[in-house]
Amino acid sequence: MKGEREMEGPVALSDAHDAPADPVAPFAEDYERDIQRVLLTEEQIQGKLRELGAAITRDYAGRVPLLVGVLKGAFVLMADLARHVHIPVEVDFMAVASYGASTQTSGVVRILKDLDHDIEGRHVLLVEDIVDSGLTLNYLLKNLRGRRPASLEVCALLQKVGIQRVPLDLRYVGFEIPPEFVIGYGLDFAERFRNLPYIATLRPEAYREA
Ligand code: PRP
């Protein structure tokens, strides 16, 4: 059939993904009405990930870094970033919670899921979607440093400017953004919006209606 590839199972892939993507094409009607402004388009994010991936590939050449994603927010970033790193890597995840359903940081960090393996002697690269107050990262870095990795660095896609409550040394940062609440590309409000391919701010009404 023209425009389709025959598959053995029930799924047929169309060639629609070959078309150039519209940077702010409507993604989901129910999301669009809550969005105030697109801060970073899908193309900007993917372009930056290519740069970050190239830098990581160069810096870790000859080693096998362990990429540690901080769930839930970093699940999208991890999947995309890992595919831009062109050396062997291993991946693991930690799940932490700090915000609950609110938009303000509480400063309380709970480990909901720990790493599967020992990291002693490993080159660990912590992958975070966003550094806000910095309290989550500060806690995680202290915790992981205690496990004696050979090296411990951070790759954060977003860093809010001017509001970190603790000094942090971030090796790789994708974008510095204003200190506004943002959603999309893994980041949620009340667990929604994580699957948006871009990063945006929410209309004030969206908070009130939640
Ligand atoms: C977000 C984000 C970071 C943290 C940053 O996670 O993914 O882990 O907050 O905030 P901080 O710098 O002020 O500590 P969140 O607690 O919202 O959990 P989630 O990733 O499961 O959505």
- Residue 125 contacts residue 67 (beta carbons within 8 Å): yes
To test ligand 1's pocket by mutation, which of 106, 129, 135, 170 has the most ligand atoms within 8 angstroms of CB? Answer: 129
**Taking every pair of C-alpha atoms in the chain, what is the biggest distance, in angstroms?**
59
Q: What band does 85 get if pLDDT is binned at 50, 70 and 90?
A: very high
For the stretch 35-58, pLDDT in tens is: 999 999 999 999 999 999 999 999
Query: Can you tell me whether residue 3 is helix, strand or coil?
Result: coil
Q: Write the single-letter amino acid at 196.
A: L
Q: What is the mean pLDDT of the segment spanning 62-82?
A: 97
Q: Given phi > 0 = left and psi -120 to 50 = alpha, else beta, which region is 43?
A: alpha
pLDDT tier at 27, thresholds 50, 70, 90? confident
Q: Categorize the per-residue pLDDT at 28 as very low, low, confident or very high, splitting at 50, 70 and 90.
A: confident
Q: Are 139 and 146 in contact (CB under 8 A)?
A: no
**Could you report the per-residue pLDDT of 125-163, keeping only the tens digit for each?**
999 999 999 999 999 999 999 999 999 999 999 999 999
The pTM (predicted TM-score) of the whole model is 0.86
Yes or no: say if 172 and 56 are a contact pair by the CB < 8 Å rule. yes
Report the CATH fold assignment for 29-56+63-209: Rossmann fold (3.40.50)
CA distance linking residue 137 with residue 156, whole number of Å: 10
Q: Whose CA is nearest to atom 17 of ligand 1?
A: 99
pLDDT band at 107 (very low <50, low <70, confident <90, very high): low
Q: Bigger pLDDT: 47 or 30?
A: 47
Q: Tell me the mean pLDDT in the region 77-91.
A: 98
User: Predicted confidence band at 15 (pLDDT cuts at 50, 70, 90)?
Assistant: low
**Ligand 1, CB within 6 Å, residue ranges:** 70-73, 97-99, 105, 128-137, 188
**99 secondary structure, DSSP code:** -
Q: Which residues have a catalytic role annotated?
A: 132
User: Which residue lies with its CA nearest to atom 18 of ligand 1?
Assistant: 97
Half-sphere exposure of 4 (CA within 13 A, CB side): 8
Q: Give dist(CA 53, CA 46) in Å, integer.
A: 10
For the chain, the domains span 29-56+63-209
